[in-house]
A and B are shown apart, each in its own frame.
Chain A
Amino acid sequence: GQNIDQPTEMTATEGAIVQINCTYQTSGFNGLFWYQQHAGEAPTFLSYNVLDGLEEKGRFSSFLSRSKGYSYLLLKELQMKDSASYLCAVKNAGNMLTFGGGTRLMVKP
């Protein structure tokens, strides 16, 4: 089975940097995804890691260590619109995604 852990809530200040961690134990691994979900809206794709290392995409970066079962999402130059839930999801060999409970990020002025 899959077990995915991430913090429930985080608070950060506008303009700052925040790191959202995700740890996982899986019976099969075929990549790790990060999704953003604003309240009342659908999840939207942010990033994908299948190999170890850092993937950078603008203000957002995602890191993966497969040996440690660990990933993080790094958000730089935080903006108020970044207030949302961030979902970590692991894909197994069968193309199924298992989602963590999500981290609700609140950005304050």
Chain B
Amino acid sequence: DAGVIQSPRHEVTEMGQEVTLRCKPISGHDYLFWYRQTMMRGLELLIYFNNNVPIDDSGMPEDRFSAKMPNASFSTLKIQPSEPRDSAVYFCASSFYNQPQHFGDGTRLSIL
């Protein structure tokens, strides 16, 4: 079975550029989560969706970050403009109802 698929796996870009991270959840899962992981702050929830609707975005650091889920099989996390402090590993996870979350392999983002 295909797991959660994220792209790209690695992204290196200069500050000020727009960055778009993509996620395809496991088919049939109705929850989708975006996390950010850094050494300093650990794994932090940014936003999550239920049935494509954003439920809680209180973890989104600022207006430079936005996330969308246009359909049940696709979500994006966008940073515009990007800053060096946004460098982190971004994980997408999905789950069915209250079952355990399954994580994608992550996108390692470096902003120069």
Contacts and interface: CB of A to CB of B under 8 A. Distances in A.
Contacts of B44: 99
Contact of B55 (A30, A45, A94, A98): A94
A45 B100 contact: yes
Contacts of A99: 42-44
Contacts of B103: 42-44
23 contacts: A30-B98, A33-B100, A41-B105, A42-B91, A43-B43, A43-B91, A44-B103, A45-B100, A45-B101, A45-B102, A87-B43, A94-B56, A95-B50, A95-B95, A95-B98, A96-B48, A97-B33, A97-B45, A98-B45, A99-B43, A99-B44, A101-B42, A102-B42
Contacts of B105: 41-42
Contacts of A60: none
Contacts, number: 40
Q: Is the interface of B mostly helix, strand, loop or mixed?
A: strand
Q: Is the interface of A mostly helix, strand, loop or mixed?
A: loop
Interface string B58-71: 00000000000000
Contacts of A101: 42
